[in-house]
Amino acid sequence: REQEITIDKTLYRGVWVFAEQRQGKLANVAFELLGEGRKLADQLGEPLVALLLGKEVAGIAQQLIAQGADKVLLAEAPELESFLEDPYAQVIVDLARQERPNIILMGATATGRSLAPKVAARLGTGLTADCTGLEVDVAEKNLLQTRPAFGGNLMATILCPNHRPQMATVRPKVFKPLPAASARTGEVVSVDLSHNVWDVRAKILEVVNEVGPAVNLEEANIIVSGGRGLCDPKNFALVEELAETLGAAVGASRAAVDAGWVPYSHQVGQTGKTVGPKVYFACGIHGAIQHMAGMQSSDIIIAINKNPDAPIFKIATFGIVGDVLEILPLLNKEFKKALGK
């Protein structure tokens, strides 16, 4: 598609990364964005800037520099203590209007996917959702944003050639953080919010943590998931036992969730969670495209299925053709032995 380019791209500089934090703890995706953002910023010859919003979060700014940021824009205010769309969008939009970044990246988390469209709409710019690949066209200073659509059946590469900033949300666990280098230096710039007229319409009444950090699927290093192949709700315990041995989170296919064997919060896939652990065990899971959409970026995929033609074997790193009811107890025993438990 041809379109006349009407903006002066030289006016926009800098790759910005939204440093998502909750209660003073940075989300892993913030480090992943810095790792990828560093690469893009170096190619473009532009600075990498982390946006850190919160209440009394100055203490964690240095972590962002250690993980790749040249500069941290630090916005601290009581209004920013917990994530709310209105005040967060207000601060980011004001900064973007003043500083004119070329690119703004946010994690495709519940927070990022609610905040980014609000910011993009207010800035009147484009937003690419849930990217799994980012590259730059250095000559045009354009970001090539690749993302899955149609539940992962299709990939699209999206450009935003005529608007700035170029905005994208990025799927967690796809990109790798840089190793932390405490010797790295950078500047921390406090944003003056003392004259801000706050726009806060929502009020958080209660925060409920249903999953402890250990079973937070999106952040888990290892996930053991079970599907309909477990045949019976009580067999799901085999999945839970292996997870326990490995310190892993428990996931499930939709069939297992719909059967009522495990709550929806454990569902992996297009209509569940998107995960990318180091190791993903698919036990008695067929490998429907909607399931694979949520787990195919895992580093190592282990499939256990009695049907050698199950599509899950196509993406598996390691496969065992066999009965999960027999294999899982054996695996549990052998892992316990290997780990000295």
Partner 1 sequence: MKIVVCVKQVPETTEVKINPETNTLVREGVASIINPFDMYAVEEAIRIKEKLGGTVTVLSMGPPQAAESLRELIGMGADDAILLSDRAFAGSDTLATAHALAKGIAKIGEVGLILCGKQAIDGDTAQVGPEIAENLGIPHLTYVKKVNEIAADHLIAERMNEEGYERVQIPLPALITVVKEINEPRLPSLKGMMRAKKAVITTWTAAMIDADPAKIGLKGSPTWVKRIFIPELKCQGQVFEGTPEEQVQALVDAIVGRKIV
Ligand X SMILES: Cc1cc2nc3c(=O)[nH]c(=O)nc-3n(C[C@H](O)[C@H](O)[C@@H](O)COP(=O)(O)OP(=O)(O)OC[C@H]3O[C@@H](n4cnc5c(N)ncnc54)[C@H](O)[C@@H]3O)c2cc1C
Using CB distances below 5 to 8 A depending on partner kind, what does residue 256 bind out of partner 1, ligand X, none?
ligand X
Q: How far apart, in Å, do the first and last CA atoms of the chain sit?
A: 60
Taking the least distance from each CB to partner 1, the nearer of 159 and 178 is 159
Q: Token pair for residue 281?
A: 């065990």
Q: What is the largest CA-CA distance in the chain?
A: 66
**284 φ/ψ sector (left φ>0, alpha ψ -120 to 50, else beta):** left
For 67, phi and psi rounded to 5 degrees? -100, 15
300-327 burial string, b = 16+ CB within 10 Å, else e? ebbbbbeeeebbbbebbeebbeeebbeb
Interface with partner 1 (CB under 8 A), residue from 154, 179, 192, 260:
154
245 within 8 A of 216, measured Cβ to Cβ: no
| Residue 28 makes contact with partner 1 by CB under 8 A | no
Task: Show contacts with ligand X in window 184-243 (CB under 6 A).
Answer: 227-229, 231
Among 77, 158, 188, 215, binds ligand X (CB under 6 A): 158
Q: Per rule CB under 6 A, is residue 302 in the interface with ligand X?
A: no
Closer to ligand X by CB, 127 or 275: give it: 127
Binding mask 102-131 for partner 1 (x = CB under 8 A): -------xxx-xx-xxx-xxx-xxxxxxx-
| Minimum separation from the CB atom of position 110 to partner 1 (A) | 4
From ligand X, partner 1, none, interface partner of 229 (C-beta below 5 to 8 A by class): ligand X
Any contact of residue 278 with partner 1 (CB under 8 A)? Answer: yes
Question: 38 or 286: whose CB is closer to ligand X?
Answer: 286
290 makes contact with ligand X (CB under 6 A) = yes
CA nearest neighbour of 122 among 175, 163, 171: 163
Q: What is the H or E stretch that residue 223 is in?
A: strand 222-226
228 closest CA partner among 291, 274, 273: 291
In angstroms, give the least distance from the CB of 273 to partner 1: 8
Dihedral of CA atoms 16, 145, 11, 176 in degrees, nearest 10, equals 30
Pick the binder of ligand X from 67, 102, 166, 270 (CB under 6 A).
Answer: 270
CA 125/CA 334 separation, integer angstroms:
54
Within 87-126, the residues that bind ligand X by CB under 6 A are: 126
Query: Is residue 192 a contact partner of residue 95, using CB atoms and an 8 Å limit?
Result: no
Q: Which is nearer to partner 1, 65 or 129 (CB)?
A: 129
Give the binding site for ligand X (CB under 6 A). 126-129, 147, 149, 154, 156, 158, 227-229, 231, 253-256, 267-272, 284-286, 288, 290-291, 294, 305-307, 310, 323-325
